[in-house]
Amino acid sequence: MRQEGTKTVIRPGRIDDVETIHAALLRLGTHIGAHQEITSTPEDLRRYGFGEKPAFSTLIAEISGEFAGLCLHFPIFSTWMGRPGVYVQDLYVDDRFRGRRIGEKLLRCVARECRAAGGVYLRLSVDTDNETAKAFYERLGIGWSSYEQVQKIVGDAFFAFADAPEE
């Protein structure tokens, strides 16, 4: 059912897309072998992405009205550059639509939106073992940062850290 000449439509995600967005995130987790890490629910996405103060935004790619891909992102700020940017949390393209530059189109759309808002950079993280994604980003000019490493604290360790009494 691939129609190579069919145009890709990119639009902002809407609250009625929440189930589709969540399903795409689950497929992304499975694709990178980390499905067990995904504990979010559609209700979490609804509450934090489409409430009064959204924590993230989404772009949805469609071909002939069919879901083809997703980019979930949010604004960030660099104190070193003194400028805003955008962080891409999740980029997913449905297997049926790979090879049609949908991921690139989604990223360029996010970059344009960021630039229009005064932003000057885009950041993202890549799963350590995802060589295909690393090569994809390199082809687009999104390079590896040789001086940074992602650190994190989650779950009970985060709660204990946040709730520790001040000395």
The reported pLDDT for the residue numbered 127 is 87
Residue 122 CA to residue 132 CA, distance in Å, equals 19
Q: How many CB atoms lie within 10 A of CB 108?
A: 14
Residue 46 CA to residue 43 CA, distance in Å, equals 5
Quickly state the pLDDT bin for 120 (edges 50, 70, 90): very high
The structural domain count of the chain equals 1
Residue 101 CA to residue 106 CA, distance in Å, equals 9
pTM as predicted: 0.91
Whether 107 is covered by a domain: the verdict is: yes
C-alpha pair distances (Å), 46 with each of 56, 60, 71:
11, 15, 16
Q: Are the C-beta atoms of residues 76 and 84 closer than 8 Å to each other?
A: yes
Whether 141 is covered by a domain: the verdict is: no
Whether 162 is covered by a domain: the verdict is: no
pLDDT digits (tens, 9 = 90+) for 28-53: 999 888 888 899 999 999 999 999 99
Name the residue range of residue 99's domain.
8-128
CATH code for the domain in which residue 74 is found: 3.40.630.30
Whether 92 is covered by a domain: the verdict is: yes
